[in-house]
Amino acid sequence: MKEKIIKVKLKNSSYTVVVKNNLIKNCARYLKHLDLGKKVLIVSQSKIPKQYQNLLAKTLKYLGYKVFTFNLPTGEKYKDIKSLQKIVNIAIKNKLERNDTFLALGGGVISDLTGFAASIYYRGINFICVPTSFLGMVDAAIGGKTGINMKEGKNLLGTFYQPKIVLIDPTLLKTLSQREFLTGIGEVIKYALLEQTAGKSFQSKSFYQYLTLNKNRILNQEPQSLLDIISHSVEIKAKIVSIDEKESGLRKILNLGHTFAHGIEQAYDYKTYNHGEAVSIGTCFAAKLGYNHGLITKETKDSIIKLVKDYRLPTNLNNKKKINQILTSMLLDKKIQNGNLRFILPYKKIGCVKLVTNISQSEVRKLLSSYN
């Protein structure tokens, strides 16, 4: 299978995303043209197979770099200021300098955290992303949003900081749990719901049709279908980020389902639902809001919820015990303006979305409380 090269075109910091099976074993040709200084710190996680780290370290050493590794425990709760401090301390202890490099080898937790550390260490050093989770490959590793959580809310500290290169090897997904694989589908469905507004189309069919027709191939992780959906998701995100790097306009559409999701994750202490599951529930709430406001038909709403369900993802909260906490947390979201909740909602037909700002807190409470 051939490689897929996708460009994220930016004013000052364009970069390449390479999608290729077994890339981790053959990445020297993509790294050798980059000036990564003299030292590379690989940040990863205890649960991610050591063999990935060893393969990368071997290549980097072969290219002449001194390599350091640091592993964090697994879990969203480690995307915090203490972990940030640990990464920075290791870098200081090993005397990494301004032109050296941090490399994130992991899912979205590791890429958000390591990217944030890279953006503030010596006011910014090189950053490379090698995503290992499905969600990381289709979303988190692309586009330069970095950040950490505070106890009051998710991603409250962060920067926009682009990597030098993103290397995606779908064969790394073989060691990912089924639950974490499905989690990534939560973000893939998001892309299918906004691809037309993003101005991107998928082969001859819509991405939504592709996901509907190829459900079994995708759930069985058939290699070509994985390459297809990773490449197309990255292409959509690259296009959006190239137009609006810092989320002043178009990029806001990527928040479909996310205002709900961040509230849910935070209210449940990042334990009950992982990010993609919370996004799936948020997407279903967005479809219901869209229908309630006359933006989409009942058939479209039902179709979206069915697709989420078909991919074995949650479509509603298991119980309604944390509605107050979810609302409180949603009101702390960065997307709030002048105290008003703002949502990206499906609009007219599948593939199109729009920003809606006139949604009251009582309406959101009613929606969160409903079992339908």
Ligand X SMILES: NC(=O)c1ccc[n+]([C@@H]2O[C@H](COP(=O)([O-])OP(=O)(O)OC[C@H]3O[C@@H](n4cnc5c(N)ncnc54)[C@H](O)[C@@H]3O)[C@@H](O)[C@H]2O)c1
Distance CA(280)–CA(286), nearest Å, equals 10
Cβ nearer to ligand X, comparing 24 with 307: 24
Locate the DSSP E strands across the chain. Answer: 4-8, 15-19, 39-45, 66-72, 101-106, 126-131, 145-150, 153-160, 165-168, 341-346, 353-359
CB of 368 to ligand X, least distance (A): 20
Q: β-pairing, 15-19 with 4-8? A: antiparallel
CB of 116 to ligand X, least distance (A): 10
CB of 338 to ligand X, least distance (A): 25
Neighbouring CB atoms inside 10 A of 306's CB total 12
CB of 223 to ligand X, least distance (A): 15
Cβ nearer to ligand X, comparing 140 with 352: 140
- Reduce the DSSP state of residue 171 to 3 states and report it: helix
Cβ nearer to ligand X, comparing 44 with 300: 44
CB of 76 to ligand X, least distance (A): 5
Cβ nearer to ligand X, comparing 141 with 296: 141
Instruction: Say if residues 346 and 286 touch (Cβ distance below 8 Å).
Output: yes
CB of 7 to ligand X, least distance (A): 18
CB of 46 to ligand X, least distance (A): 7
Instruction: Say if residues 70 and 43 touch (Cβ distance below 8 Å).
Output: yes
User: Residues with Cβ < 8 Å from 85, sequence gap 6 or more?
Assistant: none
CB of 144 to ligand X, least distance (A): 8
Instruction: Say if residues 214 and 229 touch (Cβ distance below 8 Å).
Output: no
Instruction: Say if residues 186 and 178 touch (Cβ distance below 8 Å).
Output: no
Q: Under the rule (CB under 6 A), what is the footprint of ligand X?
A: 45, 47-49, 74, 76, 79, 106-110, 112, 132-133, 135-136, 139-140, 143, 145, 155, 172, 175-176, 180, 183, 274-276
CB of 115 to ligand X, least distance (A): 7
Cβ nearer to ligand X, comparing 47 with 354: 47
Residue 309 φ/ψ, nearest 5 degrees:
-65, -40
Cβ nearer to ligand X, comparing 123 with 174: 174
- Helix, strand, coil fractions of the chain, as percent rounded to 5: 50, 20, 30
Instruction: Say if residues 233 and 188 touch (Cβ distance below 8 Å).
Output: yes
CB of 66 to ligand X, least distance (A): 25
Distance CA(104)–CA(118), nearest Å, equals 10
Residue 271 φ/ψ, nearest 5 degrees:
-105, -50
- Of all residues in the shown chain, the one whose CB is closest to ligand X is 108
User: Nearest-CA neighbor of 39 among 122, 98, 115?
Assistant: 98
Cβ nearer to ligand X, comparing 74 with 209: 74
Surface-to-core class of residue 86, CB atoms within 10 Å of its CB (0-12 exposed, 13-18 middle, 19+ buried): middle
Cβ nearer to ligand X, comparing 231 with 300: 231
Cβ nearer to ligand X, comparing 257 with 351: 257
User: Nearest-CA neighbor of 37 among 114, 120, 125?
Assistant: 125
Cβ nearer to ligand X, comparing 132 with 329: 132
